[in-house]
Chain A
Amino acid sequence: MTAGLSAGIAVDIGLAALVAAMALWTITVRDAYAAVIGFIGYGLLLALVWVRLDAVDVALTEAAIGGGVTGVLLLRAVGALHRGAAPLEDGPPPGPATRRIAALACAAVAAGLALVVLGVSGPAPTLAPLAAEHLPATGLENPVTGVLLAFRALDTLLEKVVLLLALIGIWSLAPDGVWGGRPTLGRPGQASDTLRFLAQLLPPVGIVAGIHVLWVGADAPGGAFQGGAVLAAMWILAMMAGLAPVPAIGRPWLRAALVVGPLAFLAVGVAGIFIADGFLAYPPAFAKPLILAIEAAITLSIAVTLAMMVAGPPQRPDAP
């Protein structure tokens, strides 16, 4: 028992040191490409940290979003910078005074955070027992899903809207001439045989896995975000290999898929005013089916939103 405990502590210390070293390396390395690779490794290490904290839901999300989708997004951003249409206009480099003030401000924030974390006495206040006590009312068995979709549903709803806003931000970078047109992913018509092979073999498995992750989310680690990220990855793969066309951003079906999740969430939430106790409340008899329906719609929206984020702003007009 003691040996197992100390081995666990050794692993934790090693992990923490690795995370800190990786973070430091990511922000100090000069090459943007290397920094992105460091960031992806950092995300995967963080996922391991969450596993060690028994937060498998968060670990799955961190691996899929923090390591996976964000990594691809950043890699594409670095690629776009290297193709370098126009070099960024840098102002004069900050003087020593500015640097010192910035360093002092950062150190003050770090010291404040350290004080707050170290100053907490006794067990931190927690709502976990309360959440666990009321979980049966939702018909779910995974407390994380219960919190996300029942107890703190408003947060989750707003999260989905933020995701949509981010996509609108990306789309707003499109030049006027190609508004409503198609983004480009990969080099059209030049995908290698290997990529096409992978894109033919993996998606059937990946789509089943994504839906499985969504479905088990009610009772075990998993859920809409993780499942949606897997589905998005499969679609991105097919688009990069040229097996599926990249849709024009003006297509009505695409717009519908983007908003169906938040809209379904909002509709059930508003219905809660009339058939249950209030906004975003579920009638107890239908709590689980309603939550699953919302999760399914959200998964679709998340998958489409993430894939379109990676695809980026449209670059060519929507030719028939």
Chain B
Amino acid sequence: MGNRPIKFRILELFLDGKEHWNYEVVSKIQAEYNMNSAYGRDSINFDIIELASGGMLKDVEQKVDEAGIYKKDFLLHKYVITDFGKVRGSDACLMYV
């Protein structure tokens, strides 16, 4: 069970500087925080959307979820952390130097 606020953990996952698909992050957080319901999944995805809206993550690629990995026919997003996100993420996670 994760012990930091979910948005902290999401930023921490992105602090590796690599691009991640939203469904990868969502399923990782679902497992860590024991949020396996559809409601849990959607609320984690919404946290990611808010982080992108706040300019901490940048949407770099999209694809349609044809296989139903996350939600069938929905748009999947690949994000990367921004410089501002690195600063806020390091404030929150004390990992990035």
A and B: bona fide binding partners:
no
List the interface of chain B (C-beta within 8 A of A): none
